[in-house]
Amino acid sequence: MLSGKCDCIEARRSQTGAVLPEDDGFYQLYPIEYKHGRVRQEKEYEIQLCAQAICLEEMYHTTIPEGALFYIDAHQRVPVVLTQDLRKLTIQTAKRLWECFQEQSLPAAEKSPKCRKCSLLDECMPMLNHSAHTYCRGLLLELQEGE
């Protein structure tokens, strides 16, 4: 199960596609994921965009063949074709994330320059070494069990 929020969804009037609430006609949905920094090839970005498209397809009973990554600093939009290979990789990644959730385990965080502007920085804590990270997670679990 996936859930989340898209940064932006363009809805272009079309002959076929999604029916939107409060409006007549059909629309081709086009998700856009905003990223900071320079334009770069990051498979994780494409997976995130594809996951958003898959969710939109299920919500609106439509097909979304393409989306885009918009790099704010470079003010550049990069189209991403949502191929079958990318969709398979996205589903595999979602399944692995679900396994991590069920096991209540996280892979070790890898600190990178992207961490600075990440919305999950406080949860991920990539600046802590592994033993400190494990200790903090243990404290959190004990706190939750005590409630």
pLDDT tens, residue by residue, 72-87: 999 999 999 999 999 9
Tell me the C-alpha distance between 75 and 86, whole Å. 25
pLDDT tens per residue, range 26-62: 999 999 999 988 898 899 999 999 999 999 999 999 9
Is the pTM higher than 0.75?
Answer: yes
Is the predicted pLDDT of residue 108 greater than 80, yes or no? no
Mean pLDDT value of segment 122-135: 69
For the chain, percent of residues with pLDDT exceeding 70? 93
Tell me the C-alpha distance between 33 and 69, whole Å. 5
Structure tokens at 59: 């919500």
Cα distances from 14 to residues 26, 52, 55, 140, in angstroms, run 5, 20, 20, 49
